[in-house]
Structure 1
Amino acid sequence: MVGGAGPHSTRAAAALLAPTASLVRTVADPETAEMAKLWENTYRAVNIALANELADACHSLGLAPVPVIEAAATKPYGFMPFYPGPGVGGHCIPCDPHYLLWQLGKVRQPAPLVATALAANSGRPARITERALDLLAEHAVPARRARVLLIGVAYKEGVADVRESPALEILAGLAAVGADVAYCDPLVPSLRTASGPLDHVPDPHTRAWDLVVLNTVHAVHDLAWLRAADAPPVLDTRQRGPVAPRPAPAAEVTA
C-alpha cells in the first residue's frame, strides 16, 4: 500500500517497491495508506477478541466452539471465520490499534469498542494461565513444582518470532506460582523469560509432564505421543484439534 505526497512520488515509490511484492496498490496520500493498515489490524484485533469471548460462551453452554465457527462459515457471504487462541502476538495486531487510539485521543474521538477489544486480548494469556492452574488442580497436582510443557512459543505458526507472544506471559504466570515450566519449539532454540533463560526441549516425549499446553503448533511438531493412553492432560489454547484424531479424553480440555 503506497500513498505519496503527490502523484509523482506515489508512482516513484510504487516503482521502487514493485520488485519486492506481488502486488503494490496506490492510494491518494500517506494518511490513507497508514489508516488502511491500522484499520486492517484493528479489524483483526476486534474479531479475535470476539472469537475468544464467544468460544468462552460456547464452553459455558456445553458447546465446542470450532464446529460452531465452521458451521457459521458455511454462509457464502458476510462472515469471515476467526478462531480462539491464547492471545495476540507479533509486531502488528497487538500494537497498531494502540497507535490508532493514541491518534484518536488527540482529536477527542472515543473508540470504546476498540479499547474493550484490546483489553480483552491483553487479558487472554492470564485467562489461559488460570485455566492451566485449574486443570492442574482438577488432577490434584499442586501448582508449585508442577511440570508444565508449552508447545510452541512463537506468536504464530511457522515463524521464530516471539515478539509480544502470549507464550511469554503464560510461562511467566505459571513460573510465578512455582511451576517448573519448559517449552518445545524447534524454531526457537532458546528464550529469555521473566524467571530466567530457557532452552527448547527437543524430545518432550521422553519426559514426564503434569500438563501440556498447546500454544503454537508448528508443522514440524510431532504430537503423536499426546495421543497415547498414558499421555498427560492437554490444554489446547487454539482449539483447532492438533491432537484431535483420537476421541478427546476427560483429561483433554480447551480454553
Structure 2
Amino acid sequence: MATGRTHRPATRSRGIPEATVARLPLYLRALTALSERSVPTVSSEELATAAGVNSAKLRKDFSYLGSYGTRGVGYDVEYLVYQISRELGLTQDWPVVIVGIGNLGAALANYGGFASRGFRVAALIDADPAMAGKPVAGLPVRHTDELEAIITDNGVSIGVIATPAGAAQQVCDRLVAAGVTSILNFAPTVLSVPEGVDVRKVDLSIELQILAFHEQRKAGEDAAQTTAATPPRVPRTAGGGRKGPDGDVPAVMPA
C-alpha cells in the first residue's frame, strides 16, 4: 500500500474547487451510513438532505468527479463511496503523528475512526519525559526528541498538534522542517507556515462563540416577535375614554 509521502490526492490537479473538496467528507459520511445499512442507491435530494446541503450544489459537486447518477435511479452508493474516497486520497495509507498527549491528544489517539478512513496513527509524541513509554490507545508515547526520526522512518506527511498554545509554533516548525506538509492544529493559536504547507485549524472555543452569537440573535428575534404580537396600550382619559392621535375619544361614541 502506498504511503502518504509519495502519493498526493488528485483533487487539485483535476481542478476541483476548494469549497467542493470541503464538502466531499460530508457526502462520504452520509454515503458510508447508507452503505452500512445496505442501501444500494440514493437520489441527489436524499443524499443532499443527509449531508446538509442543497441538491443543486451536490449535483454540481459530483459533476467535478465525473459522476452524474442515473435518471430515475439515482447514485450508486458503493461506487460513490469509492470515488470520493479515491479523490480524497483515502484509498492510501496516511501515517499521522499526534504531538501533545494531554486530555485532547489522548482522546484523538483513542478515536476509532482513523483506520477506517485511510489514516494510521504512526506515533504519539509528548514533551513530558514522564509520559515517555506510557501506553495510550495501544501505542507507547514517544518523547519529542525523537520527532524528526519518527517522521523520517514512517514517511509521515500529516501532523496533528494538540499542544498548549505556547508550544504549538515550535512544534509546527519542527514538523515542517522534518518534511510534514499538512497540519491539523487543535492548539488555540494561529500557526505561521511556509507556502506549500496546508494547515486546518480546529478551535472548539471559537465554534462555541459562534453558536453563542446565533443563540443571542435568536433570542433577540423572539423578543422582537413577542413585542410585535402585543398590541400597544392606549391610555384612558379621566372621562373613561381613550386618548387617540386627535385627542380624547369618548368611551361611548355617539350614534
Q: TM-score, normalised by structure 2?
A: 0.35
Higher strand share: 2
- Structure with higher Rg: it is 2
Higher relative contact order (CA 8 A, sep 6+): 1
